[in-house]
Amino acid sequence: MDDSIGVIVGGSLSGGITAKLQNGCSVEDINVGRYVTIQGRQKKFMGMVTDVGLQVTDTQLTMSPPDSDDDFSARILNGIGAYGTASITPYLLIADSDRGNLEVPEPVKTIPSHFSKVRMSTDAEFQAVFGEEDEKRFNIGNPLDMEYKLCLDIPKFVERSNGIFGKSGTGKTFFTRLLLGAMIQKSKGVNLIFDMHNEYGHAGTSEEQGKVKGLKQFFPGKVTTFSLEEHALHSDGRVEIDLEDLEPEDFSILGRTLNMTDLAVSATYACRRRFGKNWIREVLRISQLTDDENDEKENLLKSEVIAQGSFENMVRALNKINSMGYINKTGSKSNIVNEIMSRLIGGVNVVIEFGRHSDTLTYMLISNLLARRIYDRYRDLTEKAIANDTAKPIPLVITIEEAHNFLNESLAQNSIFGIIAREMRKYNVTLLVIDQRPSGIQEEILSQLGTKVIFLMDNDRDIDAALSGTSGKTALRGIVAKLASKQQALIFGHALPMPVSFRPRDYNDSTFYRDGDEDESFDDIFSE
């Protein structure tokens, strides 16, 4: 039985190939994003439909088409004088005449010859390429128009920094929650999650179901939560920051949010050099001196060449930080970094919940400060392990939301997250960035992300940014534009052999989210 849908009639490796659809195959049955298998004379390829079109053999048909009610003539001409086409991007070589079916598919370096047959890919072929669920692979959903389970290689996913992009309401948070659970279950790394909107720790939200259980309830022995709130329910500890922990580098990141001038930011470096770690308290003390006691202030401004206006601008910013409820004012040293580090090194995932402190200033301050100090510890541990030829620390994935606040063109060079993204897991630390405005992220960093998940975006700049550094960008751009407004996405990159447009699995259908030997599934939990 001939199951072909068409034959190859033209194209190129860089621009994609074109198939003429068979008489019995309607262009209405061919959807963008569908997978096809192409049987060449010597090789078998797998590719993706990236566009569909209509062609005629004689342009007179476009001038004098049959009447709309002349169905007989339309049927006669359709497939003879008029026909459909499918634009296909070949991605993988899955078999050839010398080696038979390839156990590990290879990226294409050529294209099938003229008149090679094209047919829809089977579940068996898809499974051979993407594999089945096992101790490493996690079912993240179904390819569009297919029943087969799409499995993601989770250990390979965490090898590099990754990104999840899409406009608000498309399902980013839902999928991130699912993916974080998969990493906890399948990878040998740990996660540090800066949970700006309280979606990943003890509980999260769903438009359909209201409140849903978070990662801590699914993995009570593997997830711990810290909160900025003083008496937060279900929290394992409170995040408090000592003023001595703040460095001028933090104000380089926060300057715009705090309305600091460049000269005011420069003044923080001068004061840090002059007063040491206690520089903020000293500056605030000096700023409160009366006019009769202003010799100390005048000496500071003169010796450090700080303008009066810049000093006052800096003081306003420092007072704003000092007034925050999560700043430690007890005098005793906070040990939050040590607490977080001990859990991460012990293989326990950590969620930092911001509670009512979900403003941009707080999120940037806390996440940048904690990530910088934890990264410094990881770097030291990794360098010692290399020097002593011992085991490196457990791989760490840091999850940040609203990533453009840290990774934009002006801040990426100074932000600890920019450093981590560029270092390509040099010290066993990677990022998972979540954003609805990828155009605000530095292009160099976007191109370093190993795997990207893109939900619907209707801004051309955001789509182009999310696809930055991607081969076949033009074809994938068309697929992103055709995604449904909710719960459809395109995933591609390091952790997958080829791009896939898919529908994420339901959050409450998993039997994978179990802690240890517990048999409680999502269905069991939601029925409580």
Fold of the domain spanning 151-241+327-526: Rossmann fold (3.40.50)
CA distances from 64 to 59, 73, 269, 439 (A): 9, 12, 77, 46
Tokens of 297: 């202030």
What per-residue string of b and e applies to 157-185 under the rule 16 or more CB within 10 Å gives b? bbbbbbbbbbeeebbbbbbbbbbbbbbbb
State the Cα angle at 375 between 265 and 235, rounded to 5°.
95
Annotate 141-161 with DSSP letters as a single string.
EEETT--SPEEEEHHHHTTS-
The answer to whether 490 and 514 have CB atoms below 8 angstroms apart is no
Return the pLDDT at 521. 41
Token look-up 């930080």 returns 321
d(CA 358, CA 354): 6
Sequence-distant (6+) residues with CB within 8 A of 301 are: 307, 308, 311
3-state secondary structure of 139: strand
Please choose, from the candidates 20, 2, 21, 18, the residue with its C-alpha nearest in 3D space to the C-alpha of residue 10.
18
Annotate 401-443 with DSSP letters as a single string.
ESTHHHHSTTTTTTSHHHHHHHHTSTTSEEEEEEES-GGGS-H
The answer to whether 401 and 196 have CB atoms below 8 angstroms apart is yes
In 49-187, which ranges are continuous DSSP H helix? 60-63, 71-77, 123-130, 154-157, 172-186
Return the pLDDT at 206. 66
Strand segments (E) across 166-311: 190-195, 203-206, 210-213, 223-227
Strand segments (E) across 159-245: 162-165, 190-195, 203-206, 210-213, 223-227
d(CA 121, CA 68): 35
Q: Could you tell me the residue ranges of all domains in the chain?
A: 6-130, 151-241+327-526, 244-322
Output phi, psi for 459, to 5 deg. -100, 120
pLDDT in tens, the chain (528 residues): 568 999 999 999 988 999 999 887 888 889 888 999 999 999 999 999 999 999 888 777 777 777 767 676 667 667 677 888 999 999 999 999 888 888 889 999 999 999 999 999 988 888 889 998 889 999 999 998 888 889 999 999 999 999 999 998 898 998 999 999 999 988 888 999 999 988 898 877 766 666 788 899 889 899 999 999 887 778 888 998 999 989 998 998 888 899 999 999 999 999 999 999 999 999 999 999 877 777 888 899 999 999 999 999 999 999 999 999 899 877 677 788 899 999 999 999 999 999 888 889 999 999 999 999 999 999 999 999 999 999 999 999 999 999 998 898 888 877 899 989 888 788 899 999 999 999 999 998 998 899 999 999 988 999 999 998 887 788 888 889 888 888 899 999 999 999 999 999 876 644 545 544 443 443 343 333
Tokens of 231: 């008496």
Q: Is the dihedral of CA 22, 27, 32, 33 positive or negative?
A: negative
d(CA 134, CA 131): 9
Return the pLDDT at 101. 86
